[in-house]
Chains A and B, each alone.
Chain A
Amino acid sequence: MSLVDTRTPDPKKFIKGATGDWEMVIGLEIHAQVTSESKLFSGSSTEFGQPPNSNVSFVDAAMPGMLPTINEECVRQAVRTGLGLKAKINNRSIFDRKNYFYPDLPQGYQISQFKDPIVGEGVVKLDMGKDGEVEIGIERLHLEQDAGKSIHDLHPNMSLIDLNRSGVALMEIVSKPDIRSSEEARSFIAKIRTILRYLGTCDGNMEQGSLRADINVSVRAPGGEFGTRCEIKNVNSMRFAVAAIEYEARRQIDILEDGGTIDQETRLFDSKSGKTRSMRSKEEAHDYRYFPDPDLLPLEFDDEFVAELAKNLPELPDEKHDRFVNDYKITPYDASVLISSRINADFFENVAKGRDGKLAANWVINEFFGRLAKEDLSVANSPINAQQLGSIIDLISGGDISGKIAKDLFEIVWVEGGEPAKIVEERGMKQVSDTGAIEKIIEEIIAANPEQVAKVKEKPQLAGWFVGQVMKASQGKANPQAVNKILKEKLGL
């Protein structure tokens, strides 16, 4: 892989050092567990959380004479992902063996793809808010087997092995070294996760280990030659990724500014201390002795196979974003919030369809998502559905309730459920737009408060006090526009 610098150094991202400014260069390898019923080369189930060693076939346990056979669904998932990354799909790819000894690697080698991966170069766009859009290159995506799990703390002098994960399909998505800050790295991981979830090719659950990242970090003088990199292995949260990058960049800068050099090595991030520590040096690095797996033929498919998958691909986050901006006239920022997950986007769309897009976006983002976050819920287990929220918005748009009453209504529907229009009717929440009724209330208030009337004639901004009194008297149901208009007339403002 040849290293090409695709970015223009941005002073805002520089790190201040004792000797001057430094720039981070980051490349990511994301390991994403493929969503599939069975493993990459065996029929065993991939279900998470099963008792140890219950999802293990003879192939997964590397019994003598057992042979791998490719799971076609995993191939389809990899191709779908490649399409989602706008990447080149390789109609011919090769499975290689990566040889090393470890007890949770039963075969003594991992079947992976080395020289000829199933997916080649692609590109991912990141929306960095006020910093605009950034394009991060994808180097490749390949399919490989996951290893089992070693458990070291259940026995005083033995390690226990759980092979449930052994042989589960992973996609390794490798970025180009195009990332220049920890925030971009976070955004990249988040974007990849969103794309994978949209496609349904990986559940993206970082806590369960379905998505983990190896992070390559180096520092250099802004725009200078690439520095020596260190690889931080197996980072399993976005927060840790940011912390690991920040720590690691600072560590490297300190070494360089003290006149030292960076050793190319593999490091681990300790989330407790927030530091990275050396795992193995370049000299200790494994010689994986890659060679084509003779048990498997080259993986080949035709253009039609790819076209069929492309045809049935769901709308991707970037496309959905642009469509939301165009069709619903919402801001790009709101659009990016709404498309962060497919289920959220679908919810918005169900609310917004046939209604005022901006109003819908406000309600979905501020009231609805805000409330979900507060109660640690998600759209999937929300007590309010899109149809209910939609009818609340209809009641606002139709002038039946005010924005304030709508919030009360939202609260009722959230807690008690029910049909919003019916609730408004039954509980008399409908706003009063009948000018006669409002006039009557205003006249009463004016009659009862001559001193205030005198004051407001001098200081028109005191009219707000009258509005408050009217709203109070009407239990918030008076149409605010009507109240304002009539007040002005009656008070002669």
Chain B
Amino acid sequence: MSDLIKLSLKATRDGLKNKDFSAVEITDSYLSEIEKSNSKLNAYISVEAEQARVMAKASDVKLAKGQGGALEGVPLGIKDLFSTKGTHTQAGSHILDGFKPEYESSITTNLWNDGAVMLGKLNMDEFAMGSSNETSYYGAVVNPWRAKGSNKDLVPGGSSGGSAAAVSAWLCAGATATDTGGSIRQPAAFTGTVGIKPTYGRCSRWGVVAFASSLDQAGPITRTVEDSALMLNSMAGFDKKDSTSVDISVPDFATAVERGVKGLTIGIPKEYRMEGMPQEIETLWQQGMAWLKDEGAIIKDISLPNTKYALPAYYIVAPAEASSNLARYDGVKYGLRVAGGSIDEMYENTRAKGFGAEVQRRVLIGTYVLSAGYYDAYYVKAQKVRTLIKRDFEQVFADGIDAILTPATPSAAFGVNDQEMKEDPVKMYLNDIFTVTVNMAGLPAIAVPAGKDGSGLPLALQIIGKPFDEETLFAAGRVIERSANIDFTPKKWW
């Protein structure tokens, strides 16, 4: 294995600028590592070697002239949810069979404009619906991490499981991901990587296949906090093609990373102390508070009373939007078409064959909650809950809280094909218990690896910020990262 791929995104970028190595060189290193590892990890659905080399060569030309963008020559993996012109874009689904868009998402356009190189498209839960990356039509992604002394395959979390696994296993310098209910932060937590879900409206949704439009937000998964800051700098920005994108300037996130937490008031919400939560999660949380306090932050207990309604309300709002967003996959225009004797039969056959079980479940839930007679009881009520959740946060921020510290997940990574979760989808949904509130409120939140459980698996803390205050998250995240000072490199078994 070439050591180049073990460099952080920052070190990669600087090395390329200093001409320590070329973009083609590091791209080839990643491509050969992908070739060796992907059959075991299944992180990439599609590897775009030829295109990657073309992009890398172009970067080298610029770098040679001392030109190039902020990410010039840096090889990235792109979640399959992002439209990439002329290449595999299927949202991990069978129903988009063979679909290659004629357009490029705004976020990836921003990345390529800054010089980044695309290695390929990353595996994910089908249409970003899942917390284990097992709902992908392309098969489960395997977590590079294993419990001490175990050979059992673990899930990388989801839905951005491919992104998290690829970053963790050195299959890219950083990856794009998306987060509708925790799909960036939970996989980051399960793989010892850093993931930030920016404020809703910070990154354009144009060209990102929609799951739940009012909750979807893209962000990076990287190996360090600083890398996340650098990558988000390139991804973020107002886009007039997305009406929900917010016209607000993007600060230089990288300069915030080493800012520290001195004088910041960090809230600790009591509602996140759940019954049956493993002791090691509680211990980690306490540790996090201590680290922040040691660096000069003020720790304060707070209450977010409507937290308990967040998950049930989320599982109304998200499926409702999804049921409508996924109506366009009907076999008429692109992707899979399974013939039938009538138009209705063609729809039924195509959608029965094209969507997996979890997607079908959510489309059915969403259709149900929007139906006449149920709309007020479910959708309208869930929207009211959403308002209350938002208000909870507004209240604590108004009371002087600068950021909120919580665990990122209720457990470490679990096994592939977990029977209990298979039998009860709600158990799977509980993975998002700490993360969905943030999507419901549109706030930014970062997951930073902070410790390991008894079997040596990574655990993470989550920091939630005020709208458009990602800078504080990078600063506080960096303090956790520095204080923990743990090497989150998985032991290579693959």
User: Which residues of chain A have a CB within 8 Å of any CB of chain B?
Assistant: 58, 61-70, 97, 99, 101, 103, 106-109, 159, 161, 287, 289-291, 294-297
* Interface flag for B181 (CB, 8 Å): no
Contact of A64 among B101, B343, B379 (CB under 8 A): B101
- A103-B343 contact in complex given A63-B334, A69-B240, A295-B213, C-beta closer than 8 Å: yes
Mark contacts of B322-343 with chain A using CB atoms, 8 A cut-off: 1 yes-contact digit, 0 otherwise. 0110111010111000000001
Q: Which residues of chain B are near A297, meaning CB under 8 Å?
A: 243-244
Q: Which residues of chain B are near A287, meaning CB under 8 Å?
A: 371-372
Please give me the 6 A-B residue pairs with the lowest Cβ-Cβ distance, nearest first.
Answer: A108-B327, A289-B370, A294-B213, A294-B214, A62-B328, A65-B207
* Interface flag for B105 (CB, 8 Å): yes
Do A108 and B240 have beta carbons less than 8 Å apart? Answer: no
Do A68 and B101 have beta carbons less than 8 Å apart? Answer: no
Which residue in chain A gives the minimum CB-CB distance to B90? A64
Q: Which residues of chain B are near A67, meaning CB under 8 Å?
A: 205-206, 241-243
Q: Which residues of chain B are near A69, meaning CB under 8 Å?
A: 240-243
Do B332 and A65 have beta carbons less than 8 Å apart? Answer: no
A68 and B240 alpha carbons, distance in the complex (Å): 10
Contact of A289 among B91, B324, B326 (CB under 8 A): B324
CB B347 to nearest CB in A, in angstroms, measures 6
Contact of A99 among B99, B101, B370, B379 (CB under 8 A): B370
A103 and B206 alpha carbons, distance in the complex (Å): 24
* Interface flag for B320 (CB, 8 Å): yes
Contact of B321 among A70, A290, A294 (CB under 8 A): A294
Do A106 and B214 have beta carbons less than 8 Å apart? Answer: no
User: Which residues of chain B have a CB within 8 Å of any CB of chain A?
Assistant: 82-83, 89, 91, 96, 99, 101-103, 105, 205-210, 212-214, 240-244, 320-321, 323-324, 326-328, 330, 332-334, 343-344, 347, 367, 370-372, 375, 379
Offer 22 A-B interface pairs, CB within 8 angstroms, sorted by A: A58-B101, A63-B103, A64-B83, A64-B99, A64-B209, A64-B210, A64-B328, A65-B208, A65-B209, A66-B207, A67-B205, A67-B243, A69-B240, A69-B241, A99-B323, A99-B370, A103-B332, A106-B332, A108-B330, A289-B323, A289-B372, A295-B210
- A64-B89 contact in complex given A69-B243, A99-B324, C-beta closer than 8 Å: yes
A65 and B328 alpha carbons, distance in the complex (Å): 11
Contact of A107 among B208, B327, B344 (CB under 8 A): B327
Contact of B371 among A58, A289, A295 (CB under 8 A): A289
Q: Which residues of chain A are near B105, meaning CB under 8 Å?
A: 65
Do B213 and A291 have beta carbons less than 8 Å apart? Answer: no
- A295-B244 contact in complex given A64-B101, A97-B324, A107-B327, C-beta closer than 8 Å: yes
Do B243 and A296 have beta carbons less than 8 Å apart? Answer: yes
Known A-B contacts: A99-B324, A101-B347, A297-B243. Give 10 more (CB < 8 A).
A58-B101, A63-B102, A68-B243, A69-B240, A103-B332, A106-B328, A289-B367, A289-B375, A291-B324, A295-B243
Which residue in chain A gives the minimum CB-CB distance to B328? A62
Interchain Cβ contacts within 8 Å, total number: 100
Most B Cβ at <10 Å: residue of A70, A108, A289, A295:
A289
Q: Which residues of chain A are near B240, meaning CB under 8 Å?
A: 69
A294 and B99 alpha carbons, distance in the complex (Å): 25
A108 and B330 alpha carbons, distance in the complex (Å): 8
Contact of A108 among B89, B242, B324, B372 (CB under 8 A): B324
Q: Which residues of chain A are near B209, meaning CB under 8 Å?
A: 64-65
Q: Which residues of chain B are near A61, meaning CB under 8 Å?
A: 333
A472 and B265 alpha carbons, distance in the complex (Å): 110
Most B Cβ at <10 Å: residue of A62, A63, A101, A106:
A63
Which residue in chain A gives the minimum CB-CB distance to B380? A291
Which residue in chain A gives the minimum CB-CB distance to B371? A287
Which residue in chain B gives the minimum CB-CB distance to A103? B332
CB B20 to nearest CB in A, in angstroms, measures 37
Q: Which residues of chain A are near B347, meaning CB under 8 Å?
A: 101
Q: Which residues of chain A are near B96, meaning CB under 8 Å?
A: 64
A62 and B102 alpha carbons, distance in the complex (Å): 13
CB A280 to nearest CB in B, in angstroms, measures 14
Which residue in chain B gives the minimum CB-CB distance to A107? B328
Q: Which residues of chain A are near B375, meaning CB under 8 Å?
A: 289-291
Q: Which residues of chain B are near A295, meaning CB under 8 Å?
A: 210, 213, 243-244
A54 and B160 alpha carbons, distance in the complex (Å): 37
A63 and B208 alpha carbons, distance in the complex (Å): 11
CB A284 to nearest CB in B, in angstroms, measures 13
A192 and B207 alpha carbons, distance in the complex (Å): 40
Do B210 and A108 have beta carbons less than 8 Å apart? Answer: no
Contact of B206 among A65, A106, A108 (CB under 8 A): A65
CB B201 to nearest CB in A, in angstroms, measures 10
Q: Which residues of chain A are near B370, meaning CB under 8 Å?
A: 99, 289-291
Q: Which residues of chain B are near A65, meaning CB under 8 Å?
A: 82-83, 101, 105, 205-210
A156 and B67 alpha carbons, distance in the complex (Å): 60
Q: Which residues of chain B are near A296, meaning CB under 8 Å?
A: 243-244
A97 and B325 alpha carbons, distance in the complex (Å): 10
Do A99 and B243 have beta carbons less than 8 Å apart? Answer: no
A151 and B83 alpha carbons, distance in the complex (Å): 31
A106 and B320 alpha carbons, distance in the complex (Å): 19
Do A63 and B206 have beta carbons less than 8 Å apart? Answer: no
Q: Which residues of chain A are near B326, meaning CB under 8 Å?
A: 108
Which residue in chain A gives the minimum CB-CB distance to B89? A64
CB B372 to nearest CB in A, in angstroms, measures 5
Do A101 and B243 have beta carbons less than 8 Å apart? Answer: no
Most A Cβ at <10 Å: residue of B91, B208, B324, B326:
B324
Contact of B379 among A62, A68, A291 (CB under 8 A): A291
Which residue in chain A gives the minimum CB-CB distance to B213? A294
Do B324 and A62 have beta carbons less than 8 Å apart? Answer: no
Do B332 and A161 have beta carbons less than 8 Å apart? Answer: yes
A348 and B81 alpha carbons, distance in the complex (Å): 62
Q: Which residues of chain A are near B212, meaning CB under 8 Å?
A: 294
Q: Which residues of chain B are near A97, meaning CB under 8 Å?
A: 324
CB A393 to nearest CB in B, in angstroms, measures 56
A297 and B205 alpha carbons, distance in the complex (Å): 14
A107 and B326 alpha carbons, distance in the complex (Å): 8
Which residue in chain A gives the minimum CB-CB distance to B245? A67
Q: Which residues of chain B are near A62, meaning CB under 8 Å?
A: 328, 333
Which residue in chain A gives the minimum CB-CB distance to B215? A294
A41 and B241 alpha carbons, distance in the complex (Å): 10
A63 and B213 alpha carbons, distance in the complex (Å): 15
CB B369 to nearest CB in A, in angstroms, measures 9
A256 and B421 alpha carbons, distance in the complex (Å): 59
A67 and B240 alpha carbons, distance in the complex (Å): 10
A97 and B214 alpha carbons, distance in the complex (Å): 14
- A58-B102 contact in complex given A67-B241, A103-B332, A295-B243, C-beta closer than 8 Å: yes
Do A64 and B91 have beta carbons less than 8 Å apart? Answer: yes
A161 and B331 alpha carbons, distance in the complex (Å): 13
A290 and B83 alpha carbons, distance in the complex (Å): 28
CB B200 to nearest CB in A, in angstroms, measures 11
Do A58 and B327 have beta carbons less than 8 Å apart? Answer: no
Q: Which residues of chain A are near B371, meaning CB under 8 Å?
A: 287, 289
Which residue in chain B gives the minimum CB-CB distance to A63? B101
Do A106 and B91 have beta carbons less than 8 Å apart? Answer: no
Most A Cβ at <10 Å: residue of B82, B102, B243, B321:
B243
Do B243 and A108 have beta carbons less than 8 Å apart? Answer: no
Q: Which residues of chain A are near B89, meaning CB under 8 Å?
A: 64
CB B275 to nearest CB in A, in angstroms, measures 33
A97 and B372 alpha carbons, distance in the complex (Å): 14
A297 and B347 alpha carbons, distance in the complex (Å): 31
CB A62 to nearest CB in B, in angstroms, measures 4
Do B330 and A101 have beta carbons less than 8 Å apart? Answer: yes
CB A67 to nearest CB in B, in angstroms, measures 5
Do A291 and B320 have beta carbons less than 8 Å apart? Answer: yes
A161 and B330 alpha carbons, distance in the complex (Å): 14
Q: Which residues of chain B are near A161, meaning CB under 8 Å?
A: 332
CB A7 to nearest CB in B, in angstroms, measures 32
Most B Cβ at <10 Å: residue of A67, A101, A287:
A67
A296 and B207 alpha carbons, distance in the complex (Å): 15
A296 and B241 alpha carbons, distance in the complex (Å): 11
